[in-house]
Amino acid sequence: MDSQLREIWATAPGTPFQPTVGKDTQFTVAFTLLLLGVALFGGFTLNRSFINIPLLGVPASLALAVGTVYMFCAPPLFKAIASSTRQIYQLLKCISFTAKVHVQITQDGIRFAADHSRVMQGVAFLDKELFTTYTLNLAENEDGALPQFQINLAAFLEALQIFGASDVAAKQAKADAEPYRSNLRNYRPDAFSHQTLGVPGTCCLLYEEDGSPLSIILEETGVKTRCNMVTYTPEQPDDIPFDRDDLAFKIIMHSKWLLDSLSELAPMSPTRITISASPNAPFLALSSSGALGSASVDFTSGRGLLDTFTIDTKWTQSFKFDLVKSATEAMRVASKVSFRGDGQGVLSLQFMVEVEGGTTSFLDFRFVPYIAQDDDDEIDTDEEEED
């Protein structure tokens, strides 16, 4: 890295570069110039004479040339640069239960929403704090309509994994060269990896304009990778309605407890999970029954595990187990979960993920319950009797 460049960089925030034509107006300027150029050129071809060369021909070519340059220099609609993709990857992996996700770019960050047949919804919000540079150039005339599209999440995650791949490759090469040393403590983080040394690598997300592909440009140690993701027309699914004003209960607890309870239920391979919250013991109970038997987890003597517990009346709903289970990745990475249910029976799980560097991100899951059936109630009462 050139030291002079670093100085320029260091002083750059104090004296921002101001282009003669503002960034926001570059497109319009370029467009008018091009129009003018084409018109003059047309006039010149109609009446070709020596006088018309300086009068029409030269301005036409100038207008065309300058217009084209400005057109190319017109800034992309959205551009964000991050120095590490780990957090982004970690967050997006939690909602990778569907193939396509809906992406919405806002001034505060990027919102990824995954939707599973309108009964489960997972939202990951990448705050602009996660990026070193974050620019969204909204054209004024469009009333600030936010760019939104759909992408294939699996492909996106795959592309993000390329970042750091050269490190892995280097490590692999080293392991092949020195089999003895690689057997020894190869689980340790390498002190000379690019990540530890802070050798700059950048991940740039680029969205040129509406309908263009989303580009991921990864640059590290002289290798530049550009992945273009096809963007699909947004489907604009409505969010699962969750009525914050009609909360039936609200629990905040360590997400590990929720993960533990689910892993207690999972071996019975159940199809549905019944969640009930009640003002007195057992406070919160998760139960399910499957082919191998039934299982239930309760917090009767574990009231202390629930950091916050507010409830009015008993709330019991059942959900598809596999859907709730697809949020386990989020439970693993998160530190706390806000566990809420509304009057309609919709369950909301909001996870707080603490990423490196002190920033917190949030993952939001919503589940639509099964319609309560009579035989369900029968089973429930039966279970209670046996208890």
The residue ranges that bind another protein (CB under 8 A) are 254, 256-257, 260-261, 264, 267-268, 282, 289, 292-305, 386
Could you tell me which of 135, 29, 40 has the C-alpha nearest to residue 74? Answer: 29
Q: How far is the CB of 78 from another protein (least distance, A)?
A: 39
Q: What is the dihedral of CA 272, 273, 274, 276, to 10 degrees?
A: -160
The span from the CA of 221 to the CA of 201, in Å, is 7
* Nearest residue (CB) to another protein, 86 versus 256: 256
Q: How far is the CB of 270 from another protein (least distance, A)?
A: 12
Q: Which helix (H) or strand (E) holds 366?
A: strand 360-367
* Nearest residue (CB) to another protein, 230 versus 292: 292
Q: How far is residue 346 from each of residues 241, 247, 363, 368, measured CA to CA in Å?
A: 8, 10, 16, 5
The span from the CA of 133 to the CA of 146, in Å, is 18
* Nearest residue (CB) to another protein, 132 versus 301: 301
Q: Which helix (H) or strand (E) holds 18?
A: none
Q: How far is the CB of 333 from another protein (least distance, A)?
A: 14
* Nearest residue (CB) to another protein, 81 versus 305: 305
Q: Where are the beta strands (DSSP E) in 99-257?
A: 100-105, 109-116, 120-127, 133-136, 148-152, 201-207, 214-220, 223-229, 247-254
* Nearest residue (CB) to another protein, 116 versus 254: 254
Q: How far is the CB of 352 from another protein (least distance, A)?
A: 16
The span from the CA of 249 to the CA of 347, in Å, is 10
* Nearest residue (CB) to another protein, 260 versus 378: 260
Angle between helices 26-46 and 58-73 (to 10 degrees): 150
Q: How far is the CB of 266 from another protein (least distance, A)?
A: 8
Q: How far is the CB of 328 from another protein (least distance, A)?
A: 15
* Nearest residue (CB) to another protein, 249 versus 257: 257
Which residue shows structure tokens 């969010």? 239
SS3 sequence of 120-163: EEEEEEEEHHHCCEEEECCCHHHCCCCCEEEEEHHHHHHHHHCC
* Nearest residue (CB) to another protein, 226 versus 303: 303
Angle between helices 153-161 and 86-93 (to 10 degrees): 150
> At 21, which amino acid appears?
V
* Nearest residue (CB) to another protein, 22 versus 293: 293
The span from the CA of 267 to the CA of 269, in Å, is 5
Q: How far is the CB of 289 from another protein (least distance, A)?
A: 8
Q: How far is the CB of 305 from another protein (least distance, A)?
A: 6
Residue 331, SS3? helix
Q: How far is the CB of 296 from another protein (least distance, A)?
A: 5
